[in-house]
Amino acid sequence: MLEGITRRIERTRTVVLRAMLLPLLIRCGIGLSLVVALAVAWPAALVASRYLLPLAAVAFYPAFAPRGRGVTGAILLVVAGWIIDTTWYDARIALWRVLVIATLLYVGHSLAALAAVLPYDAIVNPEVVGSWLSRVLLVVLISAVLTVIALGLTAELAGEAFLIATLVGLAAAVGATLLLARLLRRP
């Protein structure tokens, strides 16, 4: 037992000594984006209480293990906090909060995908990370603009037309999912 603990401490020391700057910054970005998303999503009364430390630990865990299920757990924790804040605490749904939470979750998830395939001791060209982040920010910008446009159209399409548009959109999403699933199973 003591030998196992000694081996693990030695391995941690080796990881710390061999870690390179860009993979470390990517992992810090994962933790920072998920912790800030958690702080925005959860009720202020809970964030300012003693519950912040365990919540932040769960949100920061994917920075240490981006390959596991920790990213999904942290994202579900953020979503659960937003649901608790808007239902139980009866907070008003504000567009800025929705956009900030969605942006930070997407950035955290995307950085976790990059960190999952990037060893901690890899020498990475900064242009690789820069192009990755520019694509992420482009997706975030397009999504935010489309969200604001769609919310603006809801006032115009109130009633039956809005219901039809919602059902057509849902059918298109299901169809795209089925098509992708079929294409992935093809030999």
pLDDT in tens, 127-186: 999 999 999 999 999 999 988 887 777 767 677 777 787 888 889 999 999 998 888 887
In-domain check, residue 182: no
Supply the pLDDT for residue 140. Answer: 94
In-domain check, residue 77: yes
Supply the pLDDT for residue 157. Answer: 67
Whether residue 62 contacts residue 108, with contact meaning beta carbons closer than 8 Å, is answered with yes
The model's pLDDT over 85-118, given as tens digits with 9 standing for 90+, comes to 999 988 888 889 999 999 999 999 999 999 999 8
**In the structure encoding, which two tokens stand for residue 89, read together?**
């605490």
Residue with tokens 């993979």: 23
Supply the pLDDT for residue 63. Answer: 93
Q: Residue 11 above 90 pLDDT?
A: no
Q: Structural domain of residue 85, as residue ranges? A: 20-133
In-domain check, residue 70: yes
In-domain check, residue 181: no
CB atoms within 10 A of CB 65: 14
Question: What is the C-alpha to C-alpha distance for residues 32 and 2, in angstroms, rounded to an integer?
Answer: 34
Whether residue 104 contacts residue 74, with contact meaning beta carbons closer than 8 Å, is answered with no
Supply the pLDDT for residue 93. Answer: 86
The model's pLDDT over 43-65, given as tens digits with 9 standing for 90+, comes to 999 999 999 999 999 999 999 88
Rounded to an integer, the average pLDDT of 59-72 is: 92
Whether residue 65 contacts residue 108, with contact meaning beta carbons closer than 8 Å, is answered with no
Number of domains the chain is built from:
1
In-domain check, residue 121: yes
Whether residue 110 contacts residue 136, with contact meaning beta carbons closer than 8 Å, is answered with yes
Supply the pLDDT for residue 32. Answer: 97
In-domain check, residue 175: no
**In the structure encoding, which two tokens stand for residue 51, read together?**
């519950």
In-domain check, residue 63: yes
Q: What is the DSSP string of 71-124?
A: HHHHHHHHHHHHHIIIIIS-----HHHHHHHHHHHHHHHHHHHHHHHS-TT---
Q: Which residues contact 110 (CB under 8 A, 6 or more apart)?
A: 132, 136
Q: Exposed, middle or buried by CB within 10 Å (0-12, 13-18, 19+), for 70? A: buried
In-domain check, residue 92: yes
